[in-house]
Amino acid sequence: MDITDESHRELLNDADSAAQMGTRLTHRLLTFARQSQLEPEVLNVNDHALGAMELLGSTIGETITLSANLAPDLWRIRADSSEIENAVVNLAINARDAMPEGGKIQVDTKNVSFSENDIEDDFGVPPGDYVNLSVSDNGSGMTDDVKSRVFEPFFTTKESGKGTGLGLASIHGFVYQSGGHVRIYSEVGHGTVINLYLPRHLETRTPQETAQPTRIESTNGDARILVVEDNDMVRKVTVKRLRALGFNPEQVSNGTEAVNFLEIDAGIDLILSDIVMGGGLSGYDVARWVQSNLPQCKVLLTSGFSEQMAEDSDVQTAKLKVLPKPYNLVELQQAISSIIENKTADA
């Protein structure tokens, strides 16, 4: 596909307002996409994520900070490079539109592996090695209703002339064509993370480099764990995974229930809690309550937002551990044992 840096810049210069930029760029890129077949090549997503961020630069608005956290050892993928840039530009424009008062856009890349054990994780990505490209914002977030429709072509919540409803539909199309998956994590009033999982391109590797299957051992099964999570499906899966690790967890569906539970049963060793929850108390609030009322009890928070997107310094000040979602069974086990081992070291 013949989209040079020059024609990209021209596209951006053409736009006479930031709002029009998204619409025009989407139109132009879709036109390109219709005219030419995808031209997949083996590439490093970081190069093209950075390229897109350079293009976005000052056009994204003064009240918005754009930052990146790109894994240095990123696996390579096979894809059309202009599709990657197009995706980052479109996702960043969506993020900007969700933050009329300004905010933060964070572009992340990392390697992720989902094993057979993770088939039923809350993200439902099939097993495999992927490059995870994500664009996060701390804007309006999406309701479940909007979230369920965003991949529909022409679905937009923007006023006419501002949205085409084609951004996420075309990103979805490209990612699926590349054998990947798109997953959305969003909390109304807090923000959105759009995760693209692009399959790792397998180069000829020496046997040592092949990923070793990780053995899961259930050694800490006697610790009592309380799961605090307001999403029923995620809570069920979490409980199931903890059982697979040999624990027999208790569960509640929000922070208030957690505190009520702990006031009656103080024998919990570890609380595994979501951060953003309905019902009044956040994971931070639960952690603070636990720190002052049950100091021997440990807290492990989980969140779909990366640490860089944390809205306050709660994590740092309270020295709380956060396990980023989605996590696999091995990561869950490692996070739990590191906390439980810490406990023994402190005692």
Ligand X SMILES: Nc1ncnc2c1ncn2[C@@H]1O[C@H](COP(=O)(O)OP(=O)(O)O)[C@@H](O)[C@H]1O
* Residue numbers at the binding site for ligand X (CB under 6 A): 90, 94-95, 98, 137, 139-142, 146, 150, 155-158, 163-169, 192
Work out how close the CB of 102 gets to Mg ion at its nearest, in angstroms, rounded to a whole number: 18
- The site partner of 165 among Mg ion, ligand X, none (C-beta below 5 to 8 Å per kind) is ligand X
Nearer to ligand X, 27 or 243 (CB): 27
Nearer to Mg ion, 183 or 235 (CB): 183
- The site partner of 169 among ligand X, Mg ion, none (C-beta below 5 to 8 Å per kind) is ligand X
Work out whether strand 298-303 and strand 321-324 pair parallel, antiparallel, or are unpaired. Answer: parallel
Q: Give me the helices (H) in the chain, please.
A: 5-14, 18-35, 45-56, 81-97, 144-147, 167-177, 232-244, 255-264, 283-293, 314-317, 329-346
Work out how close the CB of 175 gets to Mg ion at its nearest, in angstroms, rounded to a whole number: 15
- The site partner of 192 among Mg ion, ligand X, none (C-beta below 5 to 8 Å per kind) is ligand X
- Contact (CB, 8 A) for 282 and 303: no
- The site partner of 156 among ligand X, Mg ion, none (C-beta below 5 to 8 Å per kind) is ligand X
Does position 167 bind Mg ion by CB under 5 A?
Answer: yes
Binding region for Mg ion (CB under 5 A) out of 165-173, 183-191, 300-308, 315-323: 165-173
Work out how close the CB of 303 gets to ligand X at its nearest, in angstroms, rounded to a whole number: 17
* Burial (0-12, 13-18, 19+ Cβ within 10 Å), 31: exposed
Closest by alpha carbon to 214, among 131, 330, 41, 336? Answer: 330
- The site partner of 81 among Mg ion, ligand X, none (C-beta below 5 to 8 Å per kind) is none
User: Rounded to an integer, what distance in angstroms lies between the CA atom of residue 269 and that of residue 266?
Assistant: 9
Closest by alpha carbon to 187, among 68, 97, 276, 112? Answer: 276
